[in-house]
């Protein structure tokens, strides 16, 4: 297993020191680069959090947890398919059973082309339902069971990962619709849970060079990885794709006390891509 090198020059300040974080989607698809969920789990751990690395693939979750432990930080892998509420209950319960609290929930889940997304006139009922169950219903129910604990504590932070596709041009129906739903739900839950001192925000990544985004599309469109990477970078005003660290850095800020007066916002991390609507 290779060591993950952070090239951003970030110096850990222990922003999450002693806190318990559940990162849903902490594994990643095979391929080059670092996924958003794995980057967030590593970043949280470097900042002092005890991390429950949750993923449908336990092997991928364990890879993330092992990377964290090799750096001398604390992490445990946990298998969970968020399409099933019983799995969610088990995962959220494991964090409190093991560490006695739940301070941060990071919902990094999403499936599009890999789940069969397509134009409305082409998508099947089965594939639409699968994407909905993962992207929106799964996020809703992880929030539900995390909030039950956070309300008791009267504290906590939830960071949902939406997508710039929800507010910009995007050709496939299920991903766009479900990620727009994540935005709306984030705003609603933030308002309803502010009285409990719980903050809920969302990140909207744009074109990020993760294995899921790049490798899946390269296969789908019959292009080389380098060709697809260049095409995606050319669409971004800053001239490059983002990385998992770009998303993780914002996730860390929103999860930390530095964002103690921020709730109910959906923040783009897209290098200005959404400005190119034509």
Euclidean distance between CA atoms 222 and 9, whole angstroms = 35
Cβ atoms 29, 211 nearer than 8 A: yes
* All residues at 6 or more sequence positions from 262 whose CB lies less than 8 Å from its CB, including other chains: 199, 201, 254
> How far is Cα 270 from Cα 67, in angstroms, rounded to an integer?
27
Containing 51, the helix (H) or strand (E) segment is strand 50-55
* Phi, psi at 154, each rounded to 5°: 60, 45
- Residue boundaries of the structural domains of the chain: 20-208+242-269
Q: From first to last of the 278 residues of the chain, give the pLDDT tens digit.
A: 445 666 555 566 799 999 999 999 999 888 788 999 999 999 999 999 999 999 999 999 999 999 999 999 999 999 999 999 999 999 999 999 999 999 999 999 988 887 888 999 999 999 999 999 999 999 999 999 999 999 999 999 999 999 999 998 889 999 999 999 999 999 999 999 999 999 999 999 999 988 877 777 777 677 888 888 888 899 999 999 999 999 999 999 999 999 999 999 999 999 999 988 65
**Domain topology for 20-208+242-269:** Rossmann fold (3.40.50)
Helix (H, G, I), strand (E, B) or coil at 118: coil
Spatial neighbors of 236 by CB under 8 A, at least 6 apart, are 206, 207, 270, 271, 272, 273
Is 132 catalytic? The answer is no
Catalytic residue among 132, 170, 172, 175: 175
- 75-79 and 50-55 strand pairing: parallel
CB 95 within 8 A of CB 102: yes
Q: Tell me how far apart the alpha carbons of residues 266 and 233 are, in angstroms, rounded to a whole number.
A: 23
Predicted local distance difference test score (pLDDT) of residue 22? 98
Identify the pLDDT of residue 2: 47
Task: Give the global pTM.
Answer: 0.92
HEC string for the chain: CCCCCCCCCCCCCCCCCCCEEEEECCCCCCCCCCCHHHHHHHHHHHCCCEEEEEECCHHHHHHHHHHHHHCCCCEEEEECCCCCHHHHHHHHHHHHHHHCCCCEEEECCCCCHHHCCCCCCCCCHHHHHHHHHHHHHHHHHHHHHHHHHHHHHCCEEEEEECCHHHCCCCCCHHHHHHHHHHHHHHHHHHHHHHHHCEEEEEEEECCECCHHHHHHHHHHHCCCHHHHHHHHHHCCCCCCCECHHHHHHHHHHHHCHHHCCCCCCEEEECCCHHHCCC
């Amino acid at each position: 297993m290779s060591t993950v090198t952070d090239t951003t020059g970030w110096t850990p300040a222990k922003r999450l020191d002693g806190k318990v974080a559940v990162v849903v989607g902490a594994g990643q698809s095979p391929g080059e680069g670092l996924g958003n969920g794995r980057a967030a789990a590593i970043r949280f751990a470097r900042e002092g959090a005890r991390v429950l690395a949750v993923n449908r693939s336990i092997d991928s979750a364990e890879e993330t947890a092992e990377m964290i432990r090799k750096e001398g930080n604390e992490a445990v892998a946990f298998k969970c398919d968020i399409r099933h509420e019983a799995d969610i209950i088990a995962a959220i319960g494991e964090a409190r059973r093991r560490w006695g609290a739940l301070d941060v929930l990071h919902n990094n889940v999403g499936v599009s082309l890999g789940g069969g997304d397509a134009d409305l006139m082409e998508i099947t009922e089965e594939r639409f339902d699968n994407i909905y169950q993962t992207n929106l219903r799964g996020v809703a129910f992880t929030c539900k069971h995390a909030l039950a604990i956070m309300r008791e504590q009267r504290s906590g932070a939830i960071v949902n990962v939406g997508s710039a596709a929800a507010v910009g041009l995007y050709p496939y129906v299920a991903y766009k619709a479900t990620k727009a739903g994540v935005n709306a739900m984030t705003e609603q839950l933030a308002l309803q849970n502010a009285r409990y001192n719980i903050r809920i925000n969302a990140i909207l990544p744009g074109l990020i060079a993760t294995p899921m985004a790049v490798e899946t599309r390269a296969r789908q469109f019959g292009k080389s990885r380098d060709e697809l990477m260049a095409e995606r970078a050319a669409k971004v005003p800053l001239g490059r794709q983002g990385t998992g660290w770009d998303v993780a850095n914002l996730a860390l800020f929103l999860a930390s006390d530095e964002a103690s007066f921020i709730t109910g916002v959906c923040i783009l991390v897209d290098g200005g891509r959404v400005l190119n609507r034509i």
